[in-house]
Amino acid sequence: MNKNYLKIFGPCLIFSITFVVFFGITSKKVLAEESTIVNTTVSTTTASTQKPSPYSLIKERIQELQQKMKITNEQKKENISTSTKDKEEKNGEINSRKQPLVNVIKNNISTSTKEKDENKIEKQQKLTENSIKKVQAYSKRITDRFNAVLERFIVLSDRAEARIKKIENGGILLGDSKTLLQKTRDEISLAKVKIGEMSLKIEEIIASENPKEMFKSSKEVFNATNESIKTVHKSLVELIKSIKNTVEKTGDETKLED
């Protein structure tokens, strides 16, 4: 009976044991997979739970940008400060190099200006000296000529006076001629005064510091004296004509040199 029992239940027992072993292994794998899935799910859930919100991310990003901007601004300020300092140092160096050149240029300009002023003064002095020499030479030449002409007129007036006396001694009266003779003598005296005044005026002109007006003033004085000489000549011509007319009327052949 026992043998029969074993024959009947032996395969079932083996199958049961095999099934139990297989089921145990399979269950273990399933449990392991489920545990893995559960762990994964838990991790995912935890990760999902720990993931920051968009607002937090934006806030963090803004803070990062602000920090970068702060650093950038500080660097810019530092660069600007460094650049300004370098620029000031360069400017100071340039100025230190430029100042000697500026001083040299100023000295050269000052020297050049001084030399120009000295040259200008020297030229003015030479011009004044030359002008004085010209005026003096011209004055002497004109004065000598006026005096020579006036002396000639005096000689002619003396001859006219002698001729009048001779004619009157012949019994002919020359009242008009004598009047013209006196007028001529007065004009000669006035001309002498004009020549003297001309000499004094020329000395005043030479003593002035305006050479440009020197010739103008001197010519005016010369012209005034020349007009006085012309007046003497005119009076003398009238005197001689008066005497000649009387001689022609009386038939006197006595000549009066002109």
Question: Model's pTM, two decimal places?
Answer: 0.48
Using CA atoms, how far residue 27 sits from 16, 31, 32, in Å, is: 16, 6, 8
pLDDT of residue 22: 52
Per-residue pLDDT of the chain (258 residues; tens, 9 = 90+): 444 545 555 555 565 566 545 555 555 554 455 455 445 444 444 444 455 566 677 777 777 777 777 777 777 777 777 777 777 777 766 666 666 766 766 666 666 666 666 666 666 666 567 777 887 888 888 889 999 999 999 999 999 999 999 888 888 888 899 999 999 999 999 999 999 988 888 888 777 766 567 667 777 888 888 999 999 999 999 999 999 888 787 665 444 444
CA–CA dist 220, 132 (Å, integer): 16
